[in-house]
Amino acid sequence: MSENYNMHICILADVMDNQNAGIHHYTKNLIENLLKIDKENRYSFIHNRENDFFKNTENYIIQSKKGLGKETYRKFFKIPKLIKELKPDIVLEPCHIGPFNIPKNIKRITIIHDLTPIIFPKFHIKRSTIIHKLLLGKIIKNADLIITPSENTKRDILNLYRTKTKIEVISEGVNPPNLEAKEPRETGLPQVKSPYLLYLGTIEPRKNLDTLVDAFLELKKENNLPHHLVLAGEIGWKVTPLLNRIKNEKEIILTGYITEKQKASLYKNADIFIYPSLYEGFGLPPLEAMSYGIPIICSTGGSLKEIFENHALMFEPNDKETLKKYILNLLKNPKGKNTLAHLTWKNTAEKLLKSFKKL
């Protein structure tokens, strides 16, 4: 390996192999843009299985194995052993939990997107809440820098952990919209019928989809609304009651996992994008939807008010009547424009690179 670089940055990238939700999307775009804009530093990646995403990069696979204690041994001993051999200047963990057991001369940066496993444990699987409660305090204390996507998440960390660790807020971003996107039926989503209202994100309790479903079904009944409701994204956890409730509602469409092309198609052709979440650390889907110029209705949960207050119609998460009113208003008088164009992944990567240099 050439020594012709200023810094060596090692990124722990398991999330690129084992999920397709928001943190995967964040990490993917961050890595792509760092590699694009930064030719002065060396980047290496540690992850857990073969993945074409890492083709032509310096990457190391330490496989995850099933069995009691094996993943703990991997994270606390095998990965730190490799890091000590690589001797990077910085180790970046983009997914809350880590890094562990590395020499103090190696700078540790942890990205904390939100504290929902701590603040709303009932919305998460028990294993996730236990891990966060056991480890997050020590991770924050040992970090040289914590990155959050919003002032709201920064406040949550300071309120709960009273840490002296430096916390820097770096917003998330979007890619340029695919305005050539075709109709959903042409991109492998034949079940999606226009006109439709759109939600996009993981299907899980924190997203407050019961309130959206209630509002939609009441509007169908009271106002003869011609629209379908599309709930796009992977099925998460603790959603059996919701799935049972909507399984016979022909005008509510669950797409499951969608590709980037399908996502672009859904955004471009939707009449309204609705994000009713109870709590978010940032809120990428409304930002993406806004880039397509469609009207946005967004709850005030968590950081959503901070990010979107002047750019979307906002309602308290459980205020179903206001949500219904906003849907009707926007269908009669559509308003949508991209007013947060400066929030790009390139901008996110540039700010993070400045943080590397400060360390």
Task: Supply the pLDDT for residue 337.
Answer: 66
Tell me the CA distances in angstroms from 305 to 27, 252, 333, one per residue in order. 24, 27, 23
**Top-level CATH class of 184-332?**
alpha beta
- The H or E element spanning position 252 is strand 252-256
Read off the pTM: 0.92
| Half-sphere CA count of 161, side-chain side, radius 13 A | 28
**pLDDT tens digits, one per residue of 300-319:** 999 999 999 989 999 999 99
Write out the DSSP string of 253-283. Answer: EEEES--HHHHHHHHHH-SEEEE--S--SS-
Contact criterion met (CB below 8 Å) for 8 and 87:
yes
Which pair of structure tokens corresponds to residue 128? 């996730």
Calculate ∠ Cα 34-36-38, nearest 5°.
60
Contact criterion met (CB below 8 Å) for 89 and 341:
no
Collect all residues with Cβ–Cβ distance below 8 Å to 176 and sequence separation of at least 6. 291, 344
Confidence check: pLDDT of 153 > 70: yes
Sign of CA dihedral 283, 284, 286, 290: positive
Q: 8-173+344-358 is classed in which CATH architecture?
A: 3-Layer(aba) Sandwich (3.40)
Collect all residues with Cβ–Cβ distance below 8 Å to 109 and sequence separation of at least 6. 90, 91, 92, 93, 143, 144, 145, 146, 147, 355, 356, 359
DSSP letter at 69? Answer: T
> What is the average pLDDT score of the chain?
93
Closest among 176, 170, 171, 148 to 160, alpha carbons compared: 148
Measured CA to CA, the distance from residue 348 to residue 149 in angstroms comes to: 10
**DSSP helix/strand/coil, 122:** helix
The tokens 């700078």 sit on which residue? 107
CATH 3.40.50.2000 domain extents, the chain: 8-173+344-358, 184-332
Which pair of structure tokens corresponds to residue 86? 């690589």
Write out the DSSP string of 286-299. Answer: HHHHHHTT--EEEE
Contact criterion met (CB below 8 Å) for 213 and 252:
yes
Confidence check: pLDDT of 161 > 90: yes
pLDDT-above-70 percentage for the chain: 98
CB atoms within 10 A of CB 176: 9
Task: Supply the pLDDT for residue 128.
Answer: 86
Per-residue pLDDT band at 125 (split at 50, 70, 90): confident
Give the torsion through C-alpha atoms of 14, 18, 24, 28, to 10 deg. Answer: 60
Mean predicted confidence (pLDDT) in 257-281:
95
Burial class (CB in 10 A: 0-12, 13-18, 19+), 239: middle
Confidence check: pLDDT of 16 > 90: yes
Task: Supply the pLDDT for residue 64.
Answer: 86
Closest among 65, 42, 72, 87 to 356, alpha carbons compared: 42
Measured CA to CA, the distance from residue 270 to residue 6 in angstroms comes to: 46
Per-residue pLDDT band at 179 (split at 50, 70, 90): confident
Mean predicted confidence (pLDDT) in 268-295:
95
